[in-house]
Amino acid sequence: MRELSRFAHAFDLGEHVALWHSLRMKPVFIERGLYELLQNGECSEELERELIDKKIFLSYEGEDEQIISRLRQNAPQPDVNLAYFILSEHCNLACKYCFVGSDACGQGISSTKDMTPEIAEKALDVFARQLEQSSEDYTEYESNIIFFGGEPLLKFDVLEYVARRVKELSESRPVLRNTSLAVITNGTLLNEERILKLDAMGVAVSISIDGFTEQANSMRVDKQGNETFERVVQVLETYKRLEVDPPSLSVTLTERTIEDLPSMLKLVRDYGVRGFGYNVLLKREDEDGGEYYEAASQFIIDSFLALREHGVYEDRIMRKLNAFAHSRVHFSDCGATSGGQILFAPDGRIGICQGLMSESENYVADIWDDDFIANEHPAWKAWSGLTAIHNDECLSCEALGICGGGCPVNARLLHPELGLHCIDERSCVHSKKTLEFLIRDLYECALADSDYTR
């Protein structure tokens, strides 16, 4: 019998077993009896052909090494198409866990904490230059600007300025024609006038919350210690009254939140929330995160099943689902590890990852360097290598093809001694659990089609 690929894995599905190559990503469902024969070296010619086709059996010596080396060679190279504009490092709230924005807890990040129109103008010029020298044609493909903070709406005037200039400049710099704009905000500074303006400027809004009730948001307080969730609900009410497309919600999955799927569905029903992005909490080394990570991953799967009935999708699981559905390797889970993003600090420094905006080493250039090209910079090249495909430790993992490698900044928080080159354990639980769910989901569909399984 042929030799098994090192990327082959088996999933126990009860009466059947799914055989799976973590990079080819096309499961083969076989009866348990056949699987047992296979383990004893017996296999029909037909099954052997199929297992060779799905790369589960090697068709020649050295095939595995060739697959991984080709994949690494063809992995995406740095190609900036996303810019974070940190409009302000100040924040109007004082969330109890915040490491960035509030004056109370995020002191001294940089000497200039608010972006000026002059800095924004120059940053826009630098961003357009990145798009212009890209191998992609951004007059055709989309690029993105995300307004971030602190609380970016504290500099609403600069946000408006950038939105206007993107439109004006797209005449002379056509790469900006397909630039989408979005803001990630705590939502408390949104009012009727701003909602209408953002809508008119085509700026998508994502509001950060910790859950779907006031209790779940008890850490999100203003500087006087008042809770803020009710203000967010009022904002959602305003969107509904104005009949403007509702914002999406960026939700930190606290222990309380993952037990409360019904309250999330209520928000979807009441306010037509159109999208979710989930952030899994990071547990310290002295905390046992295992149970929490399992439960948070299960919540993401359960909410995916519940939300898809409403036509609402969550980013994190959709990225993995797309990789699985198209049998296409998902290289990277964020703009930084794909080498695709650039970060502009309020004072004009240029960095890569917003999770490191308070660390001066994250800034490797500034907007006054007229020769700066991120795609050629060693830092962007190094970041684009921080993916699962490039990590030898990940090669034996069943979720290799759908994973994307998680967030190296989170990984480093748990293992500072390893720097950015270690595994994001929090993301591992999610990737593996999601893969198991996707294979089982497909199996249940396959069961309905008796030709599909053996």
Question: Which residues are at the interface with ligand SF4 (CB under 6 A)?
Answer: 334-337, 353-355, 388, 394, 397, 399-400, 403, 405-409, 423-424, 427-428, 431-432
The smaller minimum CB distance to ligand SF4, of residues 268 and 345, is found at 345
Find the residue with minimal CB distance to ligand SF4. Answer: 355
The smaller minimum CB distance to ligand SF4, of residues 47 and 342, is found at 342
The smaller minimum CB distance to ligand SF4, of residues 297 and 431, is found at 431
Q: How far is the CB of 283 from ligand SF4 (least distance, A)?
A: 16
The smaller minimum CB distance to ligand SF4, of residues 202 and 290, is found at 290
Nearest of 216, 140, 218, 155 to residue 185 by alpha carbon: 155
The smaller minimum CB distance to ligand SF4, of residues 239 and 344, is found at 344
407 phi and psi angles, rounded to 5 deg: -115, 115
Q: How far is the CB of 252 from ligand SF4 (least distance, A)?
A: 14
The smaller minimum CB distance to ligand SF4, of residues 303 and 337, is found at 337
Q: How far is the CB of 263 from ligand SF4 (least distance, A)?
A: 26
Nearest of 347, 446, 338 to residue 89 by alpha carbon: 347
Strands 275-280 and 313-314, by their bridges, are parallel
How many distinct helices (H) and strands (E) make up the chain? Answer: 14, 13
Q: How far is the CB of 399 from ligand SF4 (least distance, A)?
A: 4
Q: How far is the CB of 388 from ligand SF4 (least distance, A)?
A: 4
DSSP for 111-150? S--B--HHHHHHHHHHHHHHHHTSSS-TTTS-EEEEEEES
Residue with tokens 């086709």: 53
Q: How far is the CB of 222 from ligand SF4 (least distance, A)?
A: 25
Q: How far is the CB of 22 from ligand SF4 (least distance, A)?
A: 8
Cβ(115)–Cβ(152) under 8 Å?
A: no
Q: Is 48 helix (H, G, I), strand (E, B) or coil?
A: helix
Biggest CA pair distance of the chain: 73
The smaller minimum CB distance to ligand SF4, of residues 257 and 427, is found at 427
Cβ(380)–Cβ(78) under 8 Å?
A: yes
The smaller minimum CB distance to ligand SF4, of residues 246 and 406, is found at 406
Q: Which residues pair with 215 in a beta bridge?
A: none
Cβ(146)–Cβ(83) under 8 Å?
A: yes
Q: Torsion-angle region of residue 20: left (phi > 0), alpha (psi -120 to 50) or beta?
A: beta
Structure-token pair, residue 161: 């300025």
Q: How far is the CB of 13 from ligand SF4 (least distance, A)?
A: 20
